[in-house]
Every structure is written in C-alpha cells, then in structure tokens.
Amino acid sequence: MRNMQMSLAPRRAVAALAALLLAGSVAACGNSDTGSEGGGDNEKIVMGFSQVGAESGWRTANSTSVKEAAAEAGIELKFDDAQQKQENQIKAIRNYIQQKVDVIAFSPVVESGWDTVLKEAKDAGIPVILTDRAVDSADKSLYKTFLGSDFVKEGRLSGEWLVENSKDATGDVNIVELQGTTGSAPANDRKEGFAAAIAADPKLKVIASQSGDFTRAGGKQVMEQFLKAHPKIDVLFAHNDDMGLGALEAITAAGKTPGKDITIITIDAVKDGMQALADGKFNFIAECSPLLGPQLMELAKKVHAGEEVPARVETEETTFTQEQAKAALPTRKY
Ligand code: AHR
C-alpha cells in the first residue's frame, strides 16, 4: 500500500504539470485573439485619460460620461485632471506610457506642442485617441482618431443666427466676444466660424474680444471690463455657457437686462445655460455635446484590437432658441 502511494505521487505531479501547460496554452491563444499583452480574454483594457480640468459645467458632464462609460464597457480607467495646464497633461501622458497602459485618450488643453509626447507614445506602441479637442500636429499618424464636435460649425451657426436676427437693426450692432482658453481648439475654431458668418452683414462689428478661459469667474471679470470700456454693447458672443453665466452677473450689476438690452449667444447647452435661455436671459445656444464616453470606449476597444477606425468621428449636435430650450429642459441629461 505504501509502495503504491509512492509510485502514484510522481504520476499525479506529471498530470498536474500537463494540466497547467494546457491551461497556459489556452490563455496564450486568448491573448492573440484580443491583441492584449500578458492576459486572457477577461483581461481588462487599461485606458489612461488626461482631462483638461474642471473649468465648466460641460467639462464636469464630460468627465462623468467618460467614467461611467468606462465602467459600463469594463475598461479600467486611470483618470488625471490637468487643471487646464499643458505641462500637467504631458506629465500624465508620460506616466501612462511608463505604466504601459493599453490606450491613451486625452482632451488637449491647447492645440500646439504635442508632437514630442505623441511620438513617445507611438514609439512605445501605445495608441492615442484625441477626444473633444484637436491638436495641430502635421503628422496624423501620431494618433489613431479624433472624436469630438465641429467647433467651427458651432461658431458659424451662432453667427448665422445673429445675422438672421439682426436684419431689422438700424446702424452698427456692437458685439463683444468672450473667448475660451487662449490657444485651445474650441476658442480658435468658434472665433473663426463666428467671424466668417457675421462677415455677411457689415453692420455686425466685434468691438472687443478677450479670453475668459471658459470659466464663470473669467466671464464675469472680462464682461465687467467690457461694460466699463464700451457704453454701447448690443450683443455678447460667449464661447461657452459658463462664461455667459458669469457675464450675466456683470450685466445685471451694471443695471442692464440680459437677453433684452444685450443679446446673448453662447455654446454648449448644459443645464444652467439652457435654464438661462428658457428664462429669457440668453437668446441662442449652439449645442456642444459632452457625452463622448460611450463612443470613446467603443473606439478604444477597436484600436486595442488593431481594427481600423475613422480618422475623424464627429459628434451630432443641434441649436436651441428660447422656446426650444423650454421644451428640451425637462429631459436634459446634463
Ligand atoms: O472643449 C469643449 C469646451 O471646453 C466647452 O465648450 C467648454 O465649456 C469647455 O470648457
């Protein structure tokens, strides 16, 4: 009996080893199917995401969308808030490269100055997805795709509404512009689109244009300066709702009625902006959707699997008048 147990033990060890090897080869097959390194079918894709900051209601809704969609898609998300500083974003991207994440996604605070770090990611074999904002890199192979809005179109739609609604005005229509973060894609593009549209009517004149950095505090402060410097302001074009909301305080404090004495056009259509529009304090909003999370996760899965993705994925958007805002508000998600 004793002898028999001793002779069975080595055979059991051999069988156990064979089972282990078999399991290992199955896991290896799973790796090549998913394109992941060092794990099986169940291994989670790891995404490093560098967010611009928390400057606006739009941004908060965007961060929530990204976090919720990652959890929903079973993607492990490493999230970094760059506090609107490019150097923080570059640092975060370099950390993600060191950590060997599977995909890097980021919303670039400004358009320029990304080539070096993007090249580092490419050399490390980590695909990059641009989300919300674009970069001006000439080498398009430095990133896989760009998911986001057409900011030029948002500016153009805002300008076209103004042209249409100023038809009956006599004399010059004085416009002040609150720009977004200097050097950012939405600030550059919205300015460009708006200017192109209002060029159709020579009486529409931008008399002052300055950055409010996409924040309420910035919008309020710059609008106070505009009001002091310019006795006749007919229109405010703010590159986002938050700056428009900050400007409301300055306009009211100056004894003027927003939406009546000064026509207000903004971009985003977040809840607070839509409420101001429904209340008659804003006059028109061009929508910019922050709900990019689900599409971002889909694209991440595809690039991770080595599938082809379109170079540009554009977000669907609309515009709102005061009446449309009243109708849309009850079911607005953000
Ligand atoms: O990049 C999108 C813009 O950034 C939004 O319009 C603005 O609200 C945000 O801060």
91 alpha carbon to ligand 1 midpoint, in Å? 22
Domain boundaries, the chain: 46-149+290-316, 151-288
Tracing tokens 């809840």 back to the chain, one arrives at: 271
pLDDT, tens digit (0-9, with 9 covering 90-100), for 102-152: 999 999 999 999 999 999 999 999 999 999 999 999 999 999 999 999 999
What is the arithmetic mean of pLDDT over 27-34? 32
pLDDT at 333: 87
Share of the chain above pLDDT 70, in %: 87
Q: Is the CB of 111 under 6 A from ligand 1?
A: no
What is the dihedral angle through the alpha carbons of 163, 168, 171, 174, rounded to the nearest 10 degrees?
-40
CA torsion through residues 121, 122, 128, 130, sign: positive
Place of tokens 């006795």: 231
CATH number for the segment(s) 151-288: 3.40.50.2300
Residue 49: what are its φ and ψ, rounded to 5°?
-120, 125
Q: Are 300 and 318 in contact (CB under 8 A)?
A: no
Ligand 1 center to 180 CA (angstroms): 8
> Ligand 1 pocket check: which of 50, 81, 132 to mutate, most ligand atoms within 8 Å of Cβ?
132
Tokens 């005061």, residue? 322
CA 287, CA 273: separation in Å to the nearest integer?
A: 10
**Rounded-to-integer distance, Cα 73 and Cα 29, Å:** 23
Decide if pLDDT at 156 tops 70.
yes
Ligand 1 close to Cβ of residue 250 (< 6 A): no
- 284 phi and psi angles, rounded to 5 deg: -160, 140
Asked whether 58 lines ligand 1 (CB < 6 A), one says yes
Look at residue 249 and tell me whether its pLDDT is greater than 90.
yes
46-149+290-316 and 151-288 in the same fold: yes
pLDDT at 1: 32
**Cβ of 287 below 6 Å from ligand 1:** no
Is the C-beta atom of 132 inside 6 A of ligand 1?
yes
Residue with CA at minimum distance from ligand 1 atom 3: 186
CATH code for the structural domain at 46-149+290-316: 3.40.50.2300
Cα of 56 vs centre of ligand 1, distance in Å, is 7
